[in-house]
Amino acid sequence: MTEPCVAVVLAGGAGRRMGGGKPLRAWGETSLLGRALALARSYADEVAVAVRDADQIGGDVGAPLLFDDPDVPGPLAGLASALAFARVRGAARVQVLACDMPRLPADLTPRLAAALRAGAKVALPASNGRLHPVCGLWSIAVEPLLADYLARDRSSLRGLAAVSGQAVVDWGTIQPDPFVNLNTLAELQAQQPPRQSGLRWIKVQRGAVDQTAV
């Protein structure tokens, strides 16, 4: 039986290397946040967005907002909110994903879930020799371990995964890397999806419809 899962987009970072406002930066015909939410909804039926404050995402995004605890450092704050959200919603696990990773694979959650079923509390993807803790699948059993970890003044997401009993699911050497993360405007520009072409429907006077090539 598949255990219930929620997905939470981590969007609370300052994005300084991109000049701020990272979640709202354009990616194709949407924003980085819009793309992340589309991915999240493909991984789970119920999704939320973890933020530092509401101004970061510019208004209603059609998903609950989870506000980072200012006393919890870095991405651990988003994870703490995500685990609490999963618990309240009655889910056994939460798929987290950073808002700056727009090319995550479609089979991310199913492959990570297989590792949790084998007994791990955390499943992290890896590719090209690198671990990606900001898009891991976490069991809610990690929540009390996180509280203890923070009480010992620890702040590494990777470190928490290691002490919680992690499994690594390796996508191997793969190009283009589906786990690429975008930290600068140059990286964002280089990773833009191809501009969609085709036919666009435009309404004209008296209810007629015109078909225009774009």
What is the arithmetic mean of pLDDT over 156-182? 93
pLDDT tens for each residue of 40-53: 999 999 999 999 88
pLDDT tens for each residue of 10-61: 987 777 788 777 888 999 999 999 999 999 999 999 999 999 888 777 777 8
pTM: 0.86
Third-level CATH fold of 5-213: Spore Coat Polysaccharide Biosynthesis Protein SpsA; Chain A (3.90.550)
DSSP, residue by residue, the chain: -PPPEEEEEE--S--GGGTS-GGGSEETTEEHHHHHHHHHHHH-SEEEEEESSGGGTTS--SS-EEEPPTTS-HHHHHHHHHHHHHHHTT-SEEEEEETT-TT--TTHHHHHHHHHHTT-SEEEEEETTEE-GGG-EEEGGGHHHHHHHHHTT---HHHHHHHH-EEEEE--S-SS-TT----SHHHHHHTPPPPP-SEEEEE-GGG-EEEEE-
Least trusted range by pLDDT, from 2-6, 37-41, 51-55, 199-203: 199-203
The predicted structure's pLDDT at residue 206: 38
Q: Mean pLDDT, the chain, as a whole number?
A: 87
The predicted structure's pLDDT at residue 209: 36
Instruction: At 126, give phi and psi (nearest 5°).
Output: -135, 150
Query: Which residues lie below 8 Å from residue 16, measured CB to CB, with a gap of 6+?
Result: none
Residue ranges covered by each domain of the chain: 5-213
Bigger pLDDT: 85 vs 2: 85
Query: Which residues lie below 8 Å from residue 102, measured CB to CB, with a gap of 6+?
Result: 27, 32, 35, 36, 39, 182, 191, 193
